[in-house]
Chain A
Amino acid sequence: GAGVSQSPSNKVTEKGKDVELRCDPISGHTALYWYRQSLGQGLEFLIYFQGNSAPDKSGLPSDRFSAERTGGSVSTLTIQRTQQEDSAVYLCASRSNYEQYFGPGTRLTVT
């Protein structure tokens, strides 16, 4: 069965460039989350989408970060003017009931 997929799996970008990360959730899951994991750290919540409700953006670290979810399915996380501290693994998860199912993540390296 299809799980959560993310693309690209790895992204290397130069400081100051914009990047887009994509998440395809499990079909039928109405809730979608973005997290990031910096080196040696736990998972840090970024943003949460639930159906047609306004997203919970409380975890976004700065206004350089934004995310959208089109048609209640695919989501893209955009980081503008990337900085070296943005380097991390960005994880997407979708949820049906209680448990969140994670994708494999996108490893972002800002040089």
Chain B
Amino acid sequence: DQQVKQNSPSLSVQEGRISILNCDYTNSMFDYFLWYKKYPAEGPTFLISISSIKDKNEDGRFTVFLNKSAKHLSLHIVPSQPGDSAVYFCAARRQGAQKLVFGQGTRLTINP
């Protein structure tokens, strides 16, 4: 049972344009959501998070949007840069729980 889904295994975007990465979840008990970025041969690094009491959180070029009614969140990167090329994982945490449930990841490629 995949509780967190990233349906796009890959995404290709031109440098300078907006990258939009999507994530869907099924468990309504999730109350905290995170995005991680992973380069090859490295561990995932935390990027940005959002609590379920918010619908938007912004940090520089990165913005995460949460639509609770649709159980959907997205990560917007604008403008996209070549260094943003990586695998992006969406993760969710249930209220009171300590472990994260991850999606399958989306490989983002930024083309010059």
Residues in chain A within 8 A of chain B (CB atoms)? 4, 31, 33, 35, 40-45, 48, 50, 56, 59, 91, 93, 95, 98-105
Residues in chain B within 8 A of chain A (CB atoms)? 4, 6, 9, 32, 34, 36, 41-46, 49, 89, 91, 98-105
Q: With A40-B104, A42-B104, A42-B105 in contact, is A102–B43 under 8 Å at CB?
A: yes
Partner of B43, one of A41, A56, A104: A104
In the assembly, what is the distance between CA of A46 and CA of B9, in Å? Answer: 23
A50 touches B98 (CB 8 A): yes
B-chain residues with CB within 8 Å of residue A95 when the two chains form the complex: 98
In the assembly, what is the distance between CA of A102 and CA of B103, in Å? Answer: 16
B-chain residues with CB within 8 Å of residue A44 when the two chains form the complex: 102
In the assembly, what is the distance between CA of A41 and CA of B103, in Å? Answer: 8
Q: With A42-B89, A91-B44, A105-B43 in contact, is A48–B49 under 8 Å at CB?
A: no
A99 touches B49 (CB 8 A): yes
A-chain residues with CB within 8 Å of residue B43 when the two chains form the complex: 4, 91, 93, 101-105
